[in-house]
Structure 1
Amino acid sequence: MWRNIIAGIILSGLVIWGIMDYVTKEDSSQNGANGAHEDEQSTNPDENKNTAKENSDKLEVGIKIGNKAPDFTIENLEGETVSLSDYQGKKVILNMWATWCPPCRAEMPDMQRFYEKYANQGVEILAVNMTSQDTVSSIEEFKEELGLTFPILLDIHNEVGVTYRVLQIPSTWFINNDGVITNIALGAMNEEMMVKYIKQMDN
């Protein structure tokens, strides 16, 4: 009998302790959140940017949403060497395409209209042509025909295609200022979709 009474007292004590501990943590959490909010308001914006960059540097490199986008270095249509990391600090639309791909051709006018509106707002389009299945001359003709002005990169050895595991084209990765993938579009895009995904980076 006494053993049952003692056990009951101990159990009651644990329950009471658990409730008190929960309440204490809730209060601490709220106070901490308020304090954090105050600190955030008083923090230098440059320090916030540095913290965001440090956090993104710790992310896993990969091709999924939330991953740090894999870097690469290839040449553009003008023969200049270009790396994805050159655009750190900008929002990047990384598009994989080919001249012989009908959906790729269909989305290009929308990409050009978007680029003309947002190129001066810290947004860049990198159109990586799957050149292992294309020719430089056909790309130049394609660019001139459609009046494209955004950078066109040449994946001659399919290095980027392998890194990003491109199984269909067009495929597009939306990458924020810190180099983190925020959205992926498989298939042809339109201007409205690009605007939507770019604006989501600010939320």
Structure 2
Amino acid sequence: MIKTCLSLLTAALLSSAALAGPLDTARFTDLSGRSASLTPYRGKVTVVNFWATWCTPCREEMPMMQSLRDRFAGRGLEVVGIALDNPAEVKTFLRLFHIRYPVLMGDADTLETMKALGNPAGGLPYTLILDRSGKPVGKLLGKLSEKTLTQAVEPLL
């Protein structure tokens, strides 16, 4: 399984020019409903995880994402969740599962953004790895293990 995920990651190394546009123009909201983007995370290696509370694999991997962030934040890693869900349910979930990394809310356009970023079916969970300049350098579809994600981000730190 790990070898398969690593092969998928290796095969998914992307041309940053091809994907910069969708992320640069994507707009989200924070949990208070204010406009938000990924721009504030430039300068850090950023794991962007598209998820929903109703998605079982998403729910299962979120504590691992929190653990990864806790472990590597001092080396310049950030994890940002993009929820495709109801804000009230997201807030409850984050509180119950002690998720402390930033979570933004997607909207109707987020599915199109995901498709433009290499996820044509719009499957969840979907994870992008951004380098310190904010350019996508990897994509992973489906539930991730901590080992797979660590191996993907550690060389960038």
Deviations 1:54-107 (A, max 9, x none): xxxxxxxxx971224322222111334321122221111011000000000110
Match of 2:125 in 1: 170
* Map of 1:47 onto structure 2: none
Q: 1:111·1:190 contact (CA, 8 Å) conserved in 2?
A: no
Q: CA deviation at 1:164?
A: 2.1
Matches within 5 A, 1:129-168: 129-130=83-84, 134-155=85-106, 157-165=107-115, 166=119, 167-168=122-123
Matches within 5 A, 1:28-39: none
The AA in structure 2 aligned to 1:187 is G
The CA distance in 1 between the partners of 2:38 and 2:110, in whole Å, is 11
For residues 63 and 36 of structure 2, the distance between their equivalents in structure 1, rounded to whole angstroms, comes to 24
TM-score (ref. length: structure 2): 0.78
Query: SS at 2:139's partner residue?
Result: strand
How far apart are the structure 1 equivalents of 2:39 and 2:14? 18
Aligned to 1:35: none
Q: Name which one, 1 or 2, has greater alpha-carbon Rg.
A: 1
Structure 2 spans left out of the alignment, 5+ residues? 1-11
In the aligned structure 2, how far is the partner of 1:126 from the partner of 1:116? 13
Higher RCO (CA < 8 A, seq sep 6+)? 2
- Count matched residues: 136
Instruction: Determine the structure 2 residue equivalent to 1:193.
Output: 148
- The range that moved more, 105-114 or 82-91, is 82-91
Q: How does the TM-score come out when normalised to structure 1?
A: 0.62
Aligned partners of 1:94 and 1:173 also within 8 Å: yes
Q: Deviations over 1:111-163 (max 9, x none)?
A: 11111111232111110001xxx2111111110111000001001x2223211
Match of 1:101 among 55, 66, 69: 55
72-81 or 172-181: bigger deviation: 72-81
> In structure 2, what residue type is equivalent to 1:139?
V
Q: Secondary structure at the match of 1:164?
A: helix
